[in-house]
Structure 1
Amino acid sequence: MSTLLREEIGQRIAKRMNDLNLSDVDVGKIVGVSKVSAGKWRKGEAEPTGSNLTKLANALQTTPEWLATGKGEVKEIGFVNVDTDLPPQKLAPVINWVKAGLPTEMGENEWDKYEYYTDKNYGDIVYWLNIIGDSMEPLFSENDMILIDQERKPNAGQYVIARVAGQEQATFKKFKPCGYDEKLGKEYFQLVPLNDFYPTLDSRFTDFEIVGVVVEHKRILV
């Protein structure tokens, strides 16, 4: 990246830090880097990339796209209290079902929509999905939003995102571990819909991969 572009990013970082009354130390604590690194970003001497760009955008209550390019909404929503015991509000991209579960760097600037979530020690790769279809009704309705933690391992009864090997689109179901299959020589599981009109899927017969666990559910009521 050119020196000029780094300086422009630094100016936007400095603006948000000033707007939110955040120091290099504050930003470093929130993002998980040293105050020296935070200072270099602010001065345009270094470029935040990958997951650091996403974490920095969350800390500054804006989007990675705005920090990197100046495009999109700044999303000014108020002061970040770095001393509070409350979980921080962060931004996660809203992606489509084809992208769900792919080995995607969430710091990429291809996402054109972000939504806030309350971070409860989730992993570094989280994203929102808009539910499609009615296989998980009545608890989950079409167009509800679910937050996926791609790094979390599923437990029995949790809701998961799974992909079929060789297929592009993910599926959303309830996770049911079933034990060890002697013939196959491996553990297997089932993906259970909540809507009785849909069949249960079995990993013994279809090669599924669990690619994320649902950690939040957002429903629009009006």
Structure 2
Amino acid sequence: MTRKHIPIRLKNLEILIREAGSAASLARAADTNSSYLSQVRNQLPTKKGTPRGIGDDLAAKLETAMDKPQGWMDEDHENEESIALERDGPSRGNHHPLIAWDQVGKGHEISEDKPPPYNTQLLICPVKCSDETFVLRVRGASMEPKFREGELIFVDPQAAADHGNYVVVRFEASNEVSFKQLIVEEGKQYLKTLNPDWPNRIVEVTADTVLCGVIIFKGEAL
């Protein structure tokens, strides 16, 4: 794979995720690890410090899984995607489950074929988001003063994570789920705790870190 293919492959990965319905569904169809696909999608670094990319083997798996011709991952489909969005329109559903922190990444997507578990609280997101969006209730004081305990945060696993975004992450070694501010500097990624009184406020993103989604909205029930 030549380096010029990296940006276009990442763009086409987003198209395939939308077609599959979710990143998890695409990973299952391609018989690949969903955590690795998340790391590739968000350009998390390898042990050498270089961003994870879509190699030829993974590109071929994705093409086969989604019935695309060979080489599809290296072609520009932006115009095709725009036409499809105009034709199909926005997603019909905008109700998203309020889940516990230990449920993050364990499959909570809602569809006609997969209704939410009984007694699941569903909340409407006031901003544009994907069907995979879920809701968490803030716990603790690590992200004060911007986020306070009890507030609701809407998390979109399909949103691209950029510098300054607030993200929900899982640390695979401990299986701990938390949320931090993403900082990108000189090609490296860091997670920042906002509370100035908190110890060890900045940690580097490693291969052990799985990005579970970007916080797109916060609110508080009265």
Structure 1 length as normaliser, TM-score? 0.51
Q: Deviations over 1:88-108 (max 9, x none)?
A: 8821000011112x1514124
Instruction: Check the 8 A contact 1:88/1:119 in 2, yes or no.
Output: no
Q: Is 1:200 equivalent to 2:214 in the alignment? A: no
Query: 1: CA distance between counterparts of 2:164 and 2:206?
Result: 21
* Fraction of identical pairs, as percent: 23
Query: 2: CA distance between counterparts of 1:97 and 1:105?
Result: 12
C-alpha RMSD over aligned residues: 3.0
Q: Is 1:172 equivalent to 2:173 in the alignment? A: no
User: Corresponding residue for 1:7?
Assistant: none
- Could you list the runs of 4 or more consecutive aligned residues of structure 1 that deviate by over 4 angstroms after TM superposition? none
User: Corresponding residue for 1:117?
Assistant: 125
Q: Specify the SS of the correspondent of 1:160.
A: strand
Q: Is 1:144 equivalent to 2:151 in the alignment? A: yes
Instruction: Check the 8 A contact 2:173/2:208 in 1, yes or no.
Output: no
User: Corresponding residue for 1:30?
Assistant: none
Instruction: Check the 8 A contact 2:97/2:108 in 1, yes or no.
Output: no
Deviation at 1:216, TM superposition (A): 0.5
Instruction: Check the 8 A contact 2:93/2:131 in 1, yes or no.
Output: no
Q: Deviations over 1:36-81 (max 9, x none)?
A: xxxxxxxxxxxxxx98xxxxxxxxxxxxxxxxxxxxxxxxxxxxxx
User: Corresponding residue for 2:8?
Assistant: none
Query: 2: CA distance between counterparts of 1:156 and 1:189?
Result: 8
Q: Is 1:92 equivalent to 2:109 in the alignment? A: no
Distance verdict in 2 for CA 1:201–1:165, change over 3 Å: farther
Instruction: Check the 8 A contact 1:128/1:146 in 2, yes or no.
Output: yes
Query: 2: CA distance between counterparts of 1:152 and 1:204?
Result: 18
- 5+ residue gaps, structure 2, are 1-20, 23-90
The 5 A counterparts of 1:150-189 are: 150-180=157-187, 188-189=188-189
User: Corresponding residue for 2:190?
Assistant: 190
Query: 2: CA distance between counterparts of 1:204 and 1:129?
Result: 22
Q: Specify the SS of the correspondent of 2:179.
A: strand
Query: 2: CA distance between counterparts of 1:127 and 1:161?
Result: 11
- 5+ residue gaps, structure 1, are 1-49, 52-86, 181-187
Deviation at 1:206, TM superposition (A): 7.6
Deviation at 1:155, TM superposition (A): 0.7
Question: What amino acid is aligned across from residue 209 of structure 2 in structure 1?
Answer: F
Q: How many residues align?
A: 131
Q: Which has the higher contact order (CA 8 A, sep 6+)?
A: 2
Q: Deviations over 1:95-128 (max 9, x none)?
A: 011112x1514124326211111241x2221011
User: Corresponding residue for 1:106?
Assistant: 109
Deviation at 1:156, TM superposition (A): 0.7
Structure 2 length as normaliser, TM-score? 0.51
Structure whose CA Rg is larger: 1
Question: What amino acid is aligned across from residue 177 of structure 2 in structure 1?
Answer: A
Query: 2: CA distance between counterparts of 1:210 and 1:170?
Result: 10
Of Structure 1 and Structure 2, the greater strand share is in 1
Deviation at 1:219, TM superposition (A): 1.9
More deviation in 128-137 or 161-170? 161-170
Deviation at 1:201, TM superposition (A): 3.8
Q: Deviations over 1:144-180 (max 9, x none)?
A: 0000001112111111101101333311111101334
Query: 2: CA distance between counterparts of 1:110 and 1:89?
Result: 16
